[in-house]
Structure 1
Amino acid sequence: MTVAAILVLLGLSGFFSGSETALTASSRAKLRARADRGDAGAQAALSVTEDSERLIGSILLGNNVVNILAASLATALFTRIFGSGGVALATLVMTLLVLIFSEVLPKTYAILAPEDLASRVARPVRALTVVIAPVVAVVRMIVRGILALFGLRSDSGDHVFSVQEEIAGALAIGHSSGTVQKEERDRLLGALDLGDRSVEEIMLHRSRIEMIDAELPTQEIIDRVLKSPHTRLPVYRGERENVIGVVHAKDLLRGVSRIVREAGEAGVEGFDVLSVSMPPYFVPETTPLDEQMREFLARRTHFALVVDEYGSLRGLITLEDILEEIVGEITDEHDTEAAQILTPNAAGDYLVEGAMTIRDLNRALDWALPDDEANTIAGLVIHMAQCIPTQGQVFSFHGYRFEVVSRRENRLTRLRIRPLGETPAQAMADQ
């Protein structure tokens, strides 16, 4: 009878160990897919893992109770048979049995098929958590009290499962194993990161915006619009900060064509570009990219001017800029600036434009330069140097060597960068 009880307790211990591993290792995405197909077990598994602290507490409590009870029964049994020497023998035998049949075996099986096992054990585990909920609540209070003594807080509202972290981790593992290509990883991670990045990080700075002066002669405005690679151009009056409209090339040409038909070519001189301009759309520089993309789609527009907290013009952003954060550089036959190709020279240096964003460089070369204090490579060098470097100056920080190749006024236009300690052969092999 005692032997049978010990075997039952070992089986229960294996059940608890396997359930813990299955419920914590199973993918919530896969469980959700099963639940959507009508799998009640998967739905129960999703429900029981919502409160992870309560789940782990219940399983550990049950597991410890059956293990201690099994060890006590074994000790009593072996002492009755072998006398005082039975204590040591019972300890040895139970250690082996618990290790093999209650820990390693069930946990190994759970790792091999976590979603299958989680779906089967979820309902009995859920019933267990309800039954011993009062005991678990007391244990949780004691644990939180002890943690509070060390300045740590446990918030039951925090969820241990992060969808973004789970996807990012899976992509990192897939890329390292060769099953996910770098381009695919970058596209998916770019989509995940939109909510954590702001308009300011990817906008075109105001110094590089191509604008139209509303006071220019009509023919010169037409010539500038036709020569520009852009279809939308901001229109200002007086100073560049005073943007009063945005003209679309098609709208301008339609307006000019209508004037020519109605009043002939002589009527073009009196044409007002503002009559075909759209009102400017301003957005704060702190707007998250995912929110701005939704605004673009809702407004059915692709173009916005970026302002700071004082209302001063900072730059412009388009829907294409946001999409490029996901799919990479988008170019067409009218683009004047091709995507920069990063190839190391014989010394292992990469020649990069100062205006290149740190994020683009990190994505292209799998580097880890920080982008907390600056958005561009030039901005990072200026921030770390605490001055505007001169041509030829060399700096080393964050594990990389930076050399200022050229400077125009106060702007660093080109730099050479290479990881410290990397040989030219290693740099070439990375490409």
Structure 2
Amino acid sequence: MVLLIIYLFIAIGISFLCSILEAVLLSTPDSYVEVLKNEKRKGAATLDKLKSEIDKPLSAILTINTIAHTIGAAGVGAQASKVFGEVYFGIISAILTLLILILSEIIPKTIGATHWRKLILPSVPLLKSFLIIAFPFVILSEQITKLIAKKGKAFSFSRQDLSTIASIGYKEGIIDKDESQLIFNLMKLDKVQTEDIMTPRIVMVTASEKMTVGKLFNQKDELNFSRIPIYNKNKEDITGYVLKADVWEKVAMDEHEVTLADLKREITKVYERVPVPRLFQLMVKKNDMMALVIDEYGGTEGLVTMEDIIETITGIEIVDEKDTHIDYQKLARELWKKRIEENRGNIIDL
């Protein structure tokens, strides 16, 4: 009877340990291992090595698990036949199979997958011991794997994976909605072009460079913005921009006849199809808060600001207290539609 209990422990107990170690090892993400390394936790470096060569600890676990199952099942069967007789061999085998399934597979793997954060570091010494015990089998398994498996690109996270992780994190309450949306926006940012976020030319607020600061000061619409693009011949011929602060300064000094050309600052020009990340880098490098968007022929398409980029990244509309329109792209579409309808009416009248 004592031998029966010993064999039963081998079949279930050791297998329980193997299953929980396997579940913990597979459930621990590489990102958490990096966190442990940065915190300089004891065993983190060893864990990182085990994760980087995960085939070795898994081979050791499966080897010991298989040996425990084989020896335990054979021993339980033999001892049960002696204790209870051959007639009960089938019943005992069925009970043993059920016990192994529940106690050494389902329960331990559920525990490991659920509590991997608490169990991963205590598991490291056991995993090292398993590697030593099953060393010959690990080497053999490694050689066989090299012969069978083809060399391929190592697994890496994709943008979609990171977006999915952010979504799961929000659902589980780990991060809030705004943080999840921010990560999602960043993952999609490389697909967004400058033309997608710019203020279209049709609704750009501009002023002639020949205009005096006194006249501009009296036109309140232009002064709603901190930077006003200025043009030479027409509104498509943007030559630069002026700062509202410079205009106010000249007005305060009673220099009303100073023209905007005298206060003109150089404006950065970017192509409409430049990706937003590249646009952001360019504007930061040049310390610009505004850029003129042009097409492939150099024609003016619109205007983009650092504010537009921040709105695209965060998904939060930044509205000045004096802005009369929130979505200038929507306004441009409405004005364009209205213009088409007016032209269509004129054609019919003719």
Pick the TM interval, shorter chain.
0.7 to 0.9
From 145, 149, 155, give the equivalent of 1:139: 145
Could you tell me which residue of structure 2 aligns to residue 156 of structure 1?
A: 154
User: For 1:59-74, what aligned pairs fall within 5 Å after superposition?
Assistant: 59-60=61-62, 62-74=64-76
Distance 2:17 2:244 in 1: 70
Q: Is the Cα contact below 8 Å between 2:11 and 2:73 reproduced in 1?
A: no
Q: Is the Cα contact below 8 Å between 1:285 and 1:308 reproduced in 2?
A: yes
Aligned length: 329
Q: Counterpart of 2:172 in 1: which secondary structure?
A: helix
Could you tell me which residue of structure 2 aligns to residue 408 of structure 1?
A: 338
- Amino acid paired to 1:408: K
Could you tell me which residue of structure 1 aligns to residue 344 of structure 2?
A: none
Q: Is the Cα contact below 8 Å between 2:198 and 2:329 reproduced in 1?
A: no
User: For 1:121-136, what aligned pairs fall within 5 Å after superposition?
Assistant: 121-125=123-127, 128=130, 131=135, 132=138, 134-136=140-142
User: For 1:149-298, what aligned pairs fall within 5 Å after superposition?
Assistant: 155-159=153-157, 164-174=163-173, 184-197=176-189, 198-200=192-194, 201-216=196-211, 219-224=214-219, 227-255=222-250, 260=255, 268=257, 271-290=258-277, 292-298=279-285
Alpha-carbon shift at residue 44 of structure 1 (Å): 3.9
In structure 2, the CA distance between the partners of 1:76 and 1:327, relative to structure 1 (3 Å rule), is same
Distance 1:287 1:50 in 2: 38
Q: Counterpart of 1:328 in 2: which secondary structure?
A: coil
Alpha-carbon shift at residue 231 of structure 1 (Å): 1.0
In structure 2, the CA distance between the partners of 1:219 and 1:119, relative to structure 1 (3 Å rule), is same
Instruction: Please tell me whether residue 336 in structure 1 is matched to residue 324 in structure 2.
Output: yes
Q: Is the Cα contact below 8 Å between 2:213 and 2:247 reproduced in 1?
A: no
Could you tell me which residue of structure 2 aligns to residue 11 of structure 1?
A: 13
Q: Counterpart of 1:235 in 2: which secondary structure?
A: strand
Q: Normalising to structure 2: TM-score of the pair?
A: 0.72
In structure 2, the CA distance between the partners of 1:27 and 1:407, relative to structure 1 (3 Å rule), is same
From 304, 310, 331, give the equivalent of 1:323: 310
Distance 1:17 1:135 in 2: 19
From 330, 340, 355, give the equivalent of 2:330: 355
Task: Give 5+ residue unaligned stretches, structure 2.
Answer: 342-350
In structure 2, the CA distance between the partners of 1:210 and 1:22, relative to structure 1 (3 Å rule), is same
Q: Counterpart of 1:155 in 2: which secondary structure?
A: coil
Distance 2:299 2:140 in 1: 59
Query: Which structure would you say has the larger RCO, counting Cα contacts within 8 Å and 6 or more residues apart?
Result: 2
The Cα RMSD (Å) is: 4.2
Alpha-carbon shift at residue 18 of structure 1 (Å): 1.3
Distance 1:283 1:135 in 2: 57
Instruction: Please tell me whether residue 303 in structure 1 is matched to residue 302 in structure 2.
Output: no
Q: Deviations over 1:378-408 (max 9, x none)?
A: 8xxxxxxxxxxxxxxxxxxxxxxxxx9x942
Distance 1:160 1:78 in 2: 53
Could you tell me which residue of structure 2 aligns to residue 419 of structure 1?
A: none
Instruction: Please tell me whether residue 106 in structure 1 is matched to residue 104 in structure 2.
Output: no
Q: Normalising to structure 1: TM-score of the pair?
A: 0.61
User: For 1:35-114, what aligned pairs fall within 5 Å after superposition?
Assistant: 35-50=37-52, 59-60=61-62, 62-78=64-80, 88-114=90-116
- Amino acid paired to 2:172: I
In structure 2, the CA distance between the partners of 1:333 and 1:156, relative to structure 1 (3 Å rule), is closer
In structure 2, the CA distance between the partners of 1:279 and 1:42, relative to structure 1 (3 Å rule), is same
Alpha-carbon shift at residue 169 of structure 1 (Å): 1.1
Q: Is the Cα contact below 8 Å between 1:213 and 1:235 reproduced in 2?
A: yes
Alpha-carbon shift at residue 171 of structure 1 (Å): 0.5
Q: Counterpart of 2:16 in 1: which secondary structure?
A: helix
Identity value in percent: 19
Q: Deviations over 1:167-210 (max 9, x none)?
A: 33110333xxxx97xxx403542244224222433222233222
In structure 2, the CA distance between the partners of 1:91 and 1:194, relative to structure 1 (3 Å rule), is same
Q: Is the Cα contact below 8 Å between 2:227 and 2:243 reproduced in 1?
A: yes
In structure 2, the CA distance between the partners of 1:303 and 1:354, relative to structure 1 (3 Å rule), is closer
Instruction: Tell me which structure has the larger Cα radius of gyration.
Output: 2
In structure 2, the CA distance between the partners of 1:247 and 1:98, relative to structure 1 (3 Å rule), is same
Q: Is the Cα contact below 8 Å between 1:284 and 1:308 reproduced in 2?
A: yes
Q: Counterpart of 2:224 in 1: which secondary structure?
A: coil
Q: Is the Cα contact below 8 Å between 1:187 and 1:328 reproduced in 2?
A: no
In structure 2, the CA distance between the partners of 1:104 and 1:239, relative to structure 1 (3 Å rule), is same
Q: Which has the higher strand share?
A: 1
In structure 2, the CA distance between the partners of 1:256 and 1:135, relative to structure 1 (3 Å rule), is same
Q: Is the Cα contact below 8 Å between 1:48 and 1:55 reproduced in 2?
A: yes
- Amino acid paired to 2:224: P
Q: Is the Cα contact below 8 Å between 2:294 and 2:300 reproduced in 1?
A: yes
In structure 2, the CA distance between the partners of 1:282 and 1:96, relative to structure 1 (3 Å rule), is same
Alpha-carbon shift at residue 328 of structure 1 (Å): 1.6
Q: Is the Cα contact below 8 Å between 1:245 and 1:277 reproduced in 2?
A: yes
Alpha-carbon shift at residue 117 of structure 1 (Å): 0.5
Task: Give 5+ residue unaligned stretches, structure 1.
Answer: 146-152, 340-352, 357-375, 379-403, 412-431
Alpha-carbon shift at residue 108 of structure 1 (Å): 3.1
Distance 2:129 2:299 in 1: 61
Q: Which has the higher helix share?
A: 2
Alpha-carbon shift at residue 281 of structure 1 (Å): 1.7
